[in-house]
């Protein structure tokens, strides 16, 4: 079952990352200007922010299996609409406002389903994992996320070079629709851990649910997770710009180096997650305690532009820290709430991606204009603040429970 949840998460995130390398290019051909492309992507992130908690609660009420299937199926169907609108807009000789609005609206609708499957899969993993195994098992889903972040752009770039800008979208559509059917047969119709009983107890549990859900401990985990995701997202925005301005690379050189840096970051992220699953098997709290300082150290190293190769070391540290932080977040939040809140808390964790997708580009782009090093310094300071809050919020938690 755990392998099936790993595959579900991997396929869902591949659906996002395979299309990322060509999204700007195909949007430009569809007559969207850069600001409209930014709005379109932000609308998808905003939908993730709004609907991830809702999908978690739906999975609590109606079951994880149906939500996992709906997530893949919904993404596949709206990608079909997305591609159709791109075809239609590109076939026109000029920009038409209604086509721009239609593409932005479709991205929003697509964003509704982007975190649906990972949210339900995370809650399902919490259902079938013993508390002492939660960190290790959640790390496998973090590994699926990291693997998608590395393989997705590589696959998307490769198939677009062989085919055209539409090919990554076609591959994504086929993969999502096929696996929505596969998971319909592969996942059991009845939960393995008494989910039916949760349905019966749902109304009674809701009376006491809110107090535990909005605990200071959970807040500590969430703000720590925000600090990790903010940095992962802002680096996607500023890396090539920083290489161009700070290291005086040409636009083409900065794009190539940025791709290499993200590949290195992704490899470090996956490597540390495999190490956690197979060797370290640290508690969720220990992973976060180690992970955030690694990220802060990497961000500060990146501001030293007197030695070119040092930035590769910094991205390795950031990748390792992000791997630990992303893996620990789901496990720590899961253990901070009761068993009948697993879907809701998984949705809240997924919501962090939406928050990062909105806040990081806006803040990062604005402060970068003031000084190219400011995004690295400001987000490091926020991570330090979040780290201290996390230590305070979890100080009374017994190590054995986390």
pLDDT of residue 145: 81
What architecture (CATH level 2) is domain 1-184? Up-down Bundle (1.20)
d(CA 82, CA 69): 20
pLDDT of residue 203: 42
- Let me know: does 355 contact 261? Beta carbons within 8 Å: no
What are residue 180's phi and psi, to 5 degrees? -65, -35
d(CA 86, CA 129): 43
pTM: predicted TM-score of the whole model, two decimal places: 0.77
Q: Pick from 4, 7, 11: which is nearest to 171 by CA? A: 11
Boundaries of every domain in the chain: 1-184, 209-394
C-alpha distances out from residue 221 to 88, 132, 183, 393, Å: 45, 18, 31, 8
CATH topology of domain 209-394: Growth Hormone; Chain: A; (1.20.1250)
Neighbours of 20 (CB within 10 A): 16
d(CA 89, CA 87): 6
The rounded radius of gyration (Å) of the Cα atoms in the chain is 21
Element (H, E) at 159: helix 134-162
323 in helix, strand or coil? helix
Contacting residues for 167 by C-beta, under 8 A, at least 6 apart: 159, 160
pLDDT of residue 364: 87
Instruction: Please report, in angstroms and rounded to a whole number, the separation of the first and last CA atoms in the chain.
Output: 23
Q: Answer whether 1-184 and 209-394 agree in fold.
A: yes
pLDDT of residue 35: 78
What does each of the 402 residues of the chain score in pLDDT, given as a tens digit?
A: 888 999 999 999 999 889 887 887 888 889 888 778 878 888 888 898 889 889 988 998 888 999 999 999 999 999 999 999 999 999 987 768 889 999 999 999 999 999 899 999 988 998 888 877 877 787 788 778 878 877 888 888 888 888 888 999 999 999 999 999 999 999 887 654 444 444 444 444 444 444 455 688 999 999 999 999 999 888 887 888 898 888 888 877 887 788 788 888 888 988 898 888 888 889 999 999 999 999 999 999 999 977 888 999 999 999 999 999 988 888 888 888 877 788 888 888 888 878 888 888 888 888 988 999 999 999 999 999 999 999 999 986 444 444
pLDDT of residue 212: 53
Q: Pick from 373, 374, 362, 384: which is nearest to 42 by CA? A: 362
């Amino acid at each position: 079952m755990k392998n099936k949840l790993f595959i579900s998460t991997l396929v869902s995130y591949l659906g996002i990352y395979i299309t990322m390398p060509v999204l700007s290019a195909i949007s430009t051909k569809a007559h969207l200007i850069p600001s409209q492309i930014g709005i379109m992507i932000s609308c998808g992130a905003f939908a993730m922010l709004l609907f991830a908690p809702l999908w978690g609660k739906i999975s609590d009420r109606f079951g994880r299996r149906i939500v996992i299937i709906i997530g893949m199926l919904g993404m596949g169907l709206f990608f079909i609409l997305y591609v159709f609108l791109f075809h239609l807009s590109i076939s026109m000789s000029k920009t038409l406002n209604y086509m721009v609005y239609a593409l932005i609206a479709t991205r929003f609708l697509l964003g509704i389903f982007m975190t649906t499957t990972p949210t339900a899969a995370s809650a399902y993993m919490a259902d079938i994992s013993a508390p002492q195994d939660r960190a290790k098992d959640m790390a496998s889903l973090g590994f699926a996320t990291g693997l998608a972040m590395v393989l997705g752009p590589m696959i998307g770039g490769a198939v677009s070079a062989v085919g055209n800008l539409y090919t990554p979208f076609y591959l994504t559509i086929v993969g999502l629709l096929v696996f929505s059917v596969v998971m319909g047969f592969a996942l059991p119709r009845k939960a393995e851990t008494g989910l039916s009983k949760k349905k019966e107890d749902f109304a009674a549990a809701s009376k006491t649910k809110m107090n535990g859900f909005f605990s200071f401990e959970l807040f500590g985990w969430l703000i720590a997770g925000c600090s990790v995701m903010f940095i992962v997202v802002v680096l996607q925005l500023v890396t090539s710009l920083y290489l161009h301005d700070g290291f005086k690379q040409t636009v083409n050189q900065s794009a190539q180096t940025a791709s290499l840096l993200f590949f290195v970051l992704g490899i470090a992220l996956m490597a540390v997650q495999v190490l956690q699953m197979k060797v370290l098997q640290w508690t969720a709290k220990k992973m976060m305690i180690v992970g955030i300082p690694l990220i802060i150290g990497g961000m500060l190293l990146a501001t030293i532009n007197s030695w070119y190769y040092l930035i590769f070391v910094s991205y390795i540290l950031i990748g390792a820290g992000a791997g630990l932080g992303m893996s620990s977040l789901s496990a720590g939040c899961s253990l901070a709430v009761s068993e009948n809140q697993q879907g809701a808390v998984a949705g809240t964790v997924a919501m962090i991606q939406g928050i990062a997708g909105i806040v990081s580009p806006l803040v990062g782009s604005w402060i970068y204009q003031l000084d190219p090093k400011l995004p690295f310094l400001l987000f490091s300071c926020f991570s330090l603040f979040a780290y201290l809050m996390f230590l305070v919020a979890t100080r009374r938690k017994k190590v054995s429970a986390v």
